[in-house]
Structures are given as structure tokens and as C-alpha cells.
Structure 1
Amino acid sequence: MDDRSGSVLVLTNPLDATADAVLRVLAERRVPVVRLDPGTDLHTGASLTAAYRTGGQRGTLRTVGRDVDLSVVRSVWVRRASPYEGPSELDGQDRRFAASQALWGAGGILASLPAAHYVNHPWANRAAEYKPTQLAAAQRFGFLVPDTVITNSEDEAREFVAAQACGAVYKPLWNTPYAVGGRPHAVWVREVDPADLTDAVSVCPHLFQAKVPKAFDARVTAVGNRLFGVRIDSPDLDWRRRQDRMTCTPIDVPEPVARSVAAYLGQLRLVYGAFDFAVTASGAWYFLESNPNGQWAWQPAGTTDAIAHALADQLQKGRDT
């Protein structure tokens, strides 16, 4: 039996190349790692068991060729696991039922390992993904925040957009899958004019924000108390739209921004966060959003390697005692 005591458990899909960069570092350090995609692996051969009784709990993860004692897992890296969708051989309400039970059962077990250090805890990730939560925390901890309104009122939206001297932008509150003519379609941040607004705003909440007269964008990747900054120069309002046209160079993170990042992570119980800023010609850093599980391997090679090692450090050390 391979009990893999002190293993790092990585929850992600098999095509996650970003995770591979960290796993290579852990392999070089001879840190035992177990990779699991619970949304699919648990109905294609893997099994998960947890037992609870007065005075303690125990659990076992069984994958091909190994058994893992869940009570001594040192760290859990919550990356990009597949959604819980149920076995493909089921359909209709049976598949929905199985998917729901897997989410609340397996998801609950994997979020409650007694000795594990989470990067990040899945419940903290979910809470920190709400943009209103991000904006409220950013304002509370000293970031500069562009004037923003979230509303389903056409009148409120039009009044806000018309009042912005440098213009306004619309951005979705969540990266919801969307298709046009049967083809996937991304909803990018875009400029919006009062004349663009119709009663369609009433269908759901929309986020409108004052356009920052930026000189460039910046990404700050935070791993514990270590920060990695890059400057992003792009011809697009939303640099994610055409990443082949952007350039990235390392940049120092101003001390006030670093202090706000630390306070933000502490309040939201995060170990990792990817912070996006718009930086003006005068050097003002405006907070745009923070993704608690943002991608980072697109950055310059030196920055990517440093982030991979910082994450490996977090996963190797486990929970503070």
C-alpha cells in the first residue's frame, strides 16, 4: 500500500498545463503529489471515503495504484477541476442528482481535510469571485477604485454612464459561457455610451464603471506575502482579447499597493490572488478586479518560473502549526 503520507493533493483537470509547471518543481524536490479531477475521476475508477465519529475523522482516496490517507494530506491546491456533471451514462434528472450529490459530498470531503493547507480553500475562492465583494474589500483596504455602479435599472445606468467625464465601460459580473450562432463568444470589457442602454438592462444586474485614463495595465500575482508585478501594454481596452498583441515586462509594486494586497488577502482568507490594475500617467494604480484563481503562466518566463516556485513553497510547507 502506498499511503502517500504528507502528499500534496492537486485538484485540476488533466489538460491544466499551468499546474504542470508547479508539479515539475515539486517533483524535483521529491514532494509526493496526487493529482485528482474529482468531477470526472470519481466515476471513472477513483473512490473517496470519509468517516466521522466522536473524537476524530479519517478518510481514504483510492486512485489507480495508490491509496492516500486523507488525514495527513499536507496541502490541497484548488486549481481548475472539471465541474461535477455526473456520469455520462446517466441522463436527465438521474445525472443531475448524481452531480449534485458529488458536489455536496465529494466537494465537502475535499474541502474539510483536517491537516491540510489550502491554496486557496474552495469556499474562500467562491466567496472572493463575486465582483461586489472584490470592490467592497478593495475600497475598505485602501485601493483606488474607479466609480462603479451595479444595477438592473436602465435609468440608473444611463445617469451613471452620462456622468463619467472620461467615459464608461461595461464588464460582465461573471465569465458566463455564451454563444452566438452556435459558436463560443467571449464578452469583453467594452466602452458604453448612454445611447447604447435599453430596457434590456432590467433583465439582470449589469456592472458599469468609470473608464480609467490609463497609461498601461498591471497584473500583480500574490502568493502568500510574495508579490510578482508585470506591466501590460496592449492596444486593446481589455488586454485579454488579443494577448498576442500585448507586451509584458516586470514592474515593481508600489508599497501602498502591496499593503492593500496583503490586507485584502487576509480579509478574504486567500493565499493566492491575481490582481488587475489600470495605471495612469501620474502613477495612480486603480484596482479593477482580483481573481482568486487567475492564470499566471502567460507572463514573462522569469516571472512565471518565480510564481511556480512560490506556489511550490506554499504547497510543500503545508499548514502552519
Structure 2
Amino acid sequence: MTGPRPVLVVTSLYDPTADVVIRELHGRGVPVVRLDSGDFPASLSVEAEITEQGLRGRVSTPSRTADLSRIRALYYRRPSGFSFPHHAEQDARFAVTQARYGLGGVLASLPGCVYVNHPHRIGDAEFKPSGLAAAVQAGFDVPPTLITSDPDAARAFIRRQGSVVYKPLHNPVYLVDGVSSVVAVAEVAADEIDERVAGTAHLFQKRVLKTADVRVTVIGSRVFCVRIDSDLLDWRTDYSRLTYTPVEPPPGVRSALLRYLHHFGLVFGAFDFCVDQEDRWWFLECNPGGQWYWLQTETGLPMLTALADLLERTS
């Protein structure tokens, strides 16, 4: 088979960031096959054979077919989950697991493919305790943090640290009056802790008195740092109150970023830092599938070019 090798984009139907990346690749003459794993098996099919020469086969959508042996890169964004609504509960549970380990396992095993990022590595990096521990090893400053289900431990930590914030360990879909919401970062006092803490795991972290936040997007070997100024504890709660300024990282941060990504086997990461009154950058988290394109529109930083280069493998 001749012609340029395609990029596989795995995401949901509504994904404006994937849309701009696909347009950029098309403009470069790079073919793209877009699919949502949640469409399997209704409008997405897979045929993969493990041979002595490795994996071969294809995935097909209603409009495209991709030869699994010729995928140059896989851009893993935000696919919807597998769903079998017409199956009985037990059958649906079985079908979901077969789809996940079948189609998911095939997409995770493409020969000679650049993953941005590999879905298994994304899964590893999404555990906040793992990320915080890796950040310490990479050389970042990390605020004192407690993960606990013990109310007494939580109260003692808060009294010891003084000002502490609560953060969710993960943000699943949470409906309030039918509207999708997220649990925001919030300051918490020791006398607010009650026995409900024993119901699950919680993350408490010493609050850094900050002057600004910084979002750092690493794409391959390229590092883009944007200072975010606001008067908000959690800047994600009101984008209309933010101002953006491209900045350079302090000494040592760039190398620590790359050490962190190498630890998890990632080539893309959206890092969040807060900056204290002494201009010290404190690591908060790294999202291996974080949003980034809105920062290009706000600052003009060439992030789309960097990502397309990585997927096309020209740099």
C-alpha cells in the first residue's frame, strides 16, 4: 500500500481541539482517521490478527478505514465510554469489558506508532497521588499533601499546616439539577471536618499564598509557559476573569518537566503551578490529556504547530 501513513484521532464527536488539529494535518497533506471508541460496535469495527510478523488488520468507521500496520501516530483525546444499552445488565457488563480489552488492547499495540499519549500511560498518570510522588522525584516543589479517609488525620493535618484546601482526587461527571458540574477546589477548616470524611478518600493540601498561576504545556520537547493572573483560588471556575502572559520557566523547571513526563512515558502534559510571593513555582498537578488550544488563541504561542509536528513526526 502506498501513500502517506494516517494519523488516528481517538475522541468523541464534539471535540473542538481535535477539530483544529485535524484541519492542520489535512493542510499538511497528512490523512486522518477519526473515531470514537464509544461507537463500537454499532458504527465502528475492528479486525486484528496477531501474527509472527506482529499485529495486522484494520479499524473501520462509516467513512474511513485504517490499516493498523500503517498508523504513524495516535492522538488520544477524549473518547466516550463503551455502552451497550440494549443488553441486560450482566450481559452489558461483560460486553463492555470485552470491548475495552479487545478494541482498547488493539489500539494500544500499534506497531511503529507515536502515541500522544498512550492510553495506558494516561491511565497511570491520572492518579493524583502517583503524580505528586513523581513530581517530588522529578525535583518540583510540592505543597504538603494528605490523602486520607480518617477524619482525625484530616483535622490534625489542617491544624498543623494552617491554611489547607480540599481537592477532588478525580472529577467524574457530577450532575447538579441536571447540569454537569465539577467539584471545585476550596479552603477547609478543621472544624468543618466530620465523620463523612470516613466515607471515601480525600485529598487535603497546604494552601500556597499565590500571586499567580502558571499553565505549562509540554508537547514533545517544546515547553510553553503561560502565567494566569486572577483573584481566584481556582482559576478554572471563571475564565472571564483571567489574563494571560507567556513567561519563561525558572531554572531547573524545564528539566524537571521532562523528567516527570519520562517517568510516566508521556510526550504531552498540561502542568499546573501556582507562584508564591517569592516567585517560587509550586507543582499542583499534570493532566496528560489537558486542554491547550485556548491558550494559543489568547497568546499566539505556536502550540498547534508543535502538536502537528509531533503527530507528523517532523521534529
Q: Structure 1 length normalisation: TM-score? A: 0.93
For 1:304 and 1:100, the matched residues in 2 are separated by 43
Residues 94-103 or 30-39, more deviating: 94-103
Alignment coverage as a number of residue pairs: 315
| In the alignment, structure 1 residue 158 sits paired with structure 2 residue 141 | no
CA distance in 1, matches of 2:236, 2:293: 14
**Unaligned stretches of 5+ residues in structure 1:** none
AA partner of residue 104 (structure 1) = Y
* Corresponding letter in the other structure for 2:110: L
Deviation at 1:297, TM superposition (A): 2.0
Within the alignment, does 1:120 sit opposite 2:117 as a pair? yes
The corresponding residue for 1:226 is 222
Q: Give SS of 2:58's match.
A: strand
Displacement after TM superposition at 1:247 (Å): 1.4
Rounded to whole Å, the distance in 1 between the matches of 2:27 and 2:304 is 12
Alpha-carbon separation, structure 2, partners of 1:179 and 1:57: 41
Counterparts of 1:228 and 1:132, CA distance in 2: 25
Q: Residue 31 of structure 1 aligns with which residue?
A: 30
Give the drift of 1:244. 1.5
Deviation, 1:22, is 1.2
In structure 2, what is the Cα distance between the partners aligned to 1:180 and 1:301? Answer: 31
Supply the AA of the counterpart residue of 1:134: G
Identical aligned residues as a percent: 45
Cα shift readout 1:208-256 (whole Å, capped 9, x = no counterpart): 0000010000000000110111111122100001111111121112231
CA contact (8 A) 2:59 2:68 kept: yes
Match of 2:43 among 42, 45, 48: 45
Q: Is the 8 A contact 1:3 1:67 kept in 2?
A: no
Question: SS of 1:240's equivalent?
Answer: helix
Correspondence 1:197-216 to 2 at 5 A: 197-216=193-212
1:257 counterpart = 2:256: no
The two structures, once aligned, show a CA RMSD in angstroms of: 1.8
**Aligned pair in 2 of structure 1 residues 304, 130: CA closer, same or farther (>3 Å)?**
farther
Please report how far the alpha carbon of residue 96 of structure 1 lies from its aligned counterpart in structure 2 after TM superposition.
Answer: 2.4
CA contact (8 A) 1:75 1:117 kept: yes
CA distance in 2, matches of 1:138, 1:117: 24
Using the size of structure 2 for normalisation, the TM-score is: 0.95
Q: 1:119 touches 1:272 (CA, 8 Å); kept in 2?
A: yes
**Amino acid of the structure 1 residue aligned with 2:222:** R
Map of 2:265 onto structure 1: 269
What is the SS of the residue equivalent to 1:298? helix
For the residues of structure 2 that align with 1:45 and 1:184, how far apart are their CA atoms? 27
Per the TM alignment, residue 57 of structure 1 is displaced from its structure 2 partner at its CA by 2.5
- Per the alignment, residue 175 of structure 1 pairs with 171
